[in-house]
Amino acid sequence: MHATLPLLNALDFPALRRGTLEALQVNLTYRCNQRCLHCHVNAGPTRHESMDDANVAFLRQLLDSLPLHTLDLTGGAPELHPRFRQIVRHARRAGRRVIDRCNLTILNEPGQADLAEFLAAEAVEICASLPCYGRDNVDRQRGDGVFARSIAALRQLNALGYGRGGALLLNLVYNPQGPSLPPPQAQLEADYKAHLAAEFDIHFDHLLTLTNQPIARFGSTLVSHGQFAAYLQLLRDSYRAENLDALMCRRLLSVDWQGYLYDCDFNQMLGLPLQLPGLLGRERAHLRDLLNAELDGNPIVTRDHCYACTAGQGSSCGGALKA
């Protein structure tokens, strides 16, 4: 059982409006081979939600029709979706940049022996979660044995040319383990690179630092430890207005496994749908609505959790906003 989270209102968060749509971030499935403490999706091995073929068809149509730059695939473990490879191939043939939000251990799961080779062949950019360069911290946050399996996966990716400064981009993702802000991204990246190279001969391109959101599994943990209010106050106290222009919700749309649209992945988890005019009585906008939608200037739905993206150096799916 998860602790009940307080309501998130954000009556004082600045009003935001959308710019030009550049990316779709699609949550293909909540199924995952891991169950991480910080996961805002509450993903895990027992989750079965998965995008059906009808919505995959809508997605492919949009990739062919809209001037999108990026398709960002996430989950759960997006690679566990039965159409993952078909979607990747279609997006790449359409000339789109494809990002795979990879937990690394999926590369050595049964039935995934050729996954790394597939990603390399399609020049998919990998954003891989590794919350620390030490075994104990990673295993504490993500489960026993995850660190060793992650190192094995990183070695496999390096052997294919990932993280070597070329076309195959390998970015690592860091989340704090508790109710604190991430340290400065540039210095932490240097520490990661030095340690992983010296200890394991592992190389990567960039480190992305993400602030933990006070929602879902992490939010419930904060509540159960009596830390929720203090963490939310930390986020508010660390607000920086200069981060607003670079927020991911200005140029990205989040898509859930049923094809419904949200301003960001966090709003998706809170059930706060994209506010789109002309839905004719429907409560939620869907992928099919994007074919004729005009999103420029559309208001963005905000709540208290939005302070996590503006706190300190800022945070988005692309890492710190002020590196």
DSSP 21: -
DSSP codes joined into one string, 271-297: T-B---S--TT-SS-BGGGGGG---TT
In tens, the pLDDT along 58-88 reads: 999 999 999 999 999 998 899 999 999 999 9
Residue 5 lies in a domain: no
Residue 38 lies in a domain: yes
In tens, the pLDDT along 288-301 reads: 999 888 899 999 99
CATH number at residue 243: 3.20.20.70
**pLDDT at position 233, please?**
93
DSSP 253: E
**pLDDT at position 3, please?**
55
In tens, the pLDDT along 169-181 reads: 999 998 887 899 9
**pLDDT at position 1, please?**
40
In which order are the strands placed within the sheet that holds 170-174? Answer: 206-209, 170-174, 125-129, 97-102, 70-74, 23-27, 252-255, 261-262
Domain limits at 293?
Answer: 23-310
Return the ∠ at Cα 302 (arms to 223 and 247), rounded to 5°: 105
Q: Which two tokens stand for residue 275?
A: 């506010």
Task: Judge whether 68 and 23 are in contact, CB under 8 Å.
Answer: yes
Q: Which two tokens stand for residue 233?
A: 């106050």
Residue 17 lies in a domain: no
Residue 199 lies in a domain: yes
- Can you say whether the dihedral through the CA atoms of 85, 90, 91, 93 is positive or negative? positive
Give 39 or 192, the one with higher predicted confidence: 192
Residue 120 lies in a domain: yes
Task: Judge whether 165 and 140 are in contact, CB under 8 Å.
Answer: no
**pLDDT at position 40, please?**
61
Residue 55 lies in a domain: yes
Element (H, E) at 123: none
Residue 12 lies in a domain: no
Q: How far apart are CA 252 and CA 254, in angstroms?
A: 7
Task: Judge whether 198 and 233 are in contact, CB under 8 Å.
Answer: no
**pLDDT at position 315, please?**
84
**pLDDT at position 7, please?**
53
Residue 7 lies in a domain: no
In tens, the pLDDT along 240-254 reads: 999 999 999 999 999
In tens, the pLDDT along 136-164 reads: 777 776 667 888 999 999 999 999 999 99
Number of structural domains, the chain?
1
